[in-house]
């Protein structure tokens, strides 16, 4: 019961962070979304063996977290929660690609280990950035930005409902877990045998609750359009943010900055 309740609070906390008034929060959602898309495309288009070229891209999520006044430990817990999925995808690379790329002393490092490290770094950078985007913008604003940028309204509304109904599902699961614990004595009714029936009951209760919410939304005039309490308006600060970061991402994508700096300092040392 406490785990479900804390999970609900945890999801709510990400939205609560978007209510701050920092300079990052005040940027237009469309600008932040476009900058994030360019960021993700830039790092995903790099060669699978590139590791050093990925490092400078960390400046963007660090910038968002620092200026957006976001709790790094909270975001790190979110990243670590999803990290096993990326780990399971990349851990097979060392077995599939065993050609040695370079040596560290007597130890040979294969291309598979390089691609595995590259996958984990890309995963951390993208998840940190997406979490920072939601925490500085809010999911409603992100969905509105998607719609204003030409994404079909049906897809955007479904995405918004999928996110919002997580709260409905979690609330119902919390009530059921609380009821089961209050009706259980000496551990009876707490085994795996009742788990299946609880899942089915949870689905039925969630569908019923979702239908009541939908009727309430229609009675309040919901027509599928996402609205915010403030108008979206791109100003000079937004343009500078988008153009500056886009130029930097393209530069980092075209040139391996750590490699160039290392080569330059090696030449000076000679």
Mind listing the pLDDT tens digit for each residue in 49-97? Answer: 888 889 999 999 999 999 999 999 989 988 988 888 888 888 888 888 7
| Higher-confidence position of 223 and 82 | 82
Same domain, 99 and 156: no
Same domain, 125 and 142: yes
Mean pLDDT, rounded, of the chain: 81
Is 31 among the domain residues? yes
- For CA atoms 257, 259, 261, 267, give the dihedral sign: negative
Q: What is the mean pLDDT of residues 205-213?
A: 78
Q: What is the mean pLDDT of residues 165-186?
A: 72
The number of domains in the chain is: 2
Same domain, 134 and 78: yes
Contact between 42 and 250 under an 8 Å Cβ cutoff? The reply is: yes
Same domain, 30 and 123: yes
| Cα Rg, the chain, nearest whole Å | 23
Distance (Å, whole) CA 184 – CA 207: 26
Distance (Å, whole) CA 149 – CA 141: 12
Q: What's the half-sphere exposure (Cβ side, CA atoms, 13 Å) at 247?
A: 6
Contact between 110 and 194 under an 8 Å Cβ cutoff? The reply is: no
Query: pLDDT band at residue 124, thresholds of 50, 70 and 90?
Result: very high
Same domain, 138 and 192: no
Helices 2-16 and 153-182: crossing angle in degrees, nearest 10, is: 150
Q: What is the mean pLDDT of residues 220-246?
A: 80
Identify the pLDDT of residue 194.
67
Same domain, 55 and 165: no
Same domain, 87 and 128: yes
Segments forming the whole domain that contains residue 25: 19-150+230-255
Q: CA 162 from chain center: how many Å?
A: 15
Is 112 among the domain residues? yes
Same domain, 30 and 53: yes
Identify the pLDDT of residue 78.
87
Contact between 170 and 8 under an 8 Å Cβ cutoff? The reply is: yes
In the three-class reduction of DSSP (H, G, I as helix; E, B as strand; rest coil), residue 20 is classed as coil
Distance (Å, whole) CA 45 – CA 48: 9
Same domain, 112 and 246: yes
């Amino acid at each position: 019961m406490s785990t479900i309740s804390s999970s609900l609070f945890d999801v709510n906390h990400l939205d609560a962070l978007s209510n701050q008034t920092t300079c990052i929060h005040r940027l237009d959602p469309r600008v932040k979304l476009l900058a994030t898309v360019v960021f993700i495309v830039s790092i995903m288009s790099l060669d699978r063996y590139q590791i050093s070229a990925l490092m400078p891209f960390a400046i963007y999520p660090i910038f968002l977290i620092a200026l957006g006044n976001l709790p790094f430990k909270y975001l790190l817990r979110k990243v670590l929660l999803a990290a096993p999925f990326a780990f399971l995808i990349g851990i097979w690379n060392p077995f599939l690609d065993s050609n040695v790329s370079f040596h560290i002393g007597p130890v040979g490092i294969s291309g598979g280990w390089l691609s595995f490290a590259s996958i984990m770094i890309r995963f951390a950078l993208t998840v940190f950035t997406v979490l920072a985007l939601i925490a500085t913008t809010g999911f409603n604003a992100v969905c509105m930005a998607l719609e204003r940028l030409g994404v079909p309204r049906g897809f955007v509304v479904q995405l918004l409902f999928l996110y919002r109904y997580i709260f409905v599902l979690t609330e119902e699961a919390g009530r059921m877990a609380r009821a089961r614990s209050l009706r259980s004595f000496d551990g009876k009714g707490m085994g795996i045998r009742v788990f299946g029936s609880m899942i089915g009951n949870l689905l039925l209760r969630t569908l019923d609750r979702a239908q009541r919410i939908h009727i309430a939304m229609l009675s309040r005039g919901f027509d599928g359009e996402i609205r915010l309490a403030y108008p979206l308006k791109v100003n000079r600060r937004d343009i500078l943010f988008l153009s500056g970061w886009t130029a930097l991402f393209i530069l980092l994508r075209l040139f391996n900055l750590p490699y160039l700096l290392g080569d330059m300092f090696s030449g000076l040392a000679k």
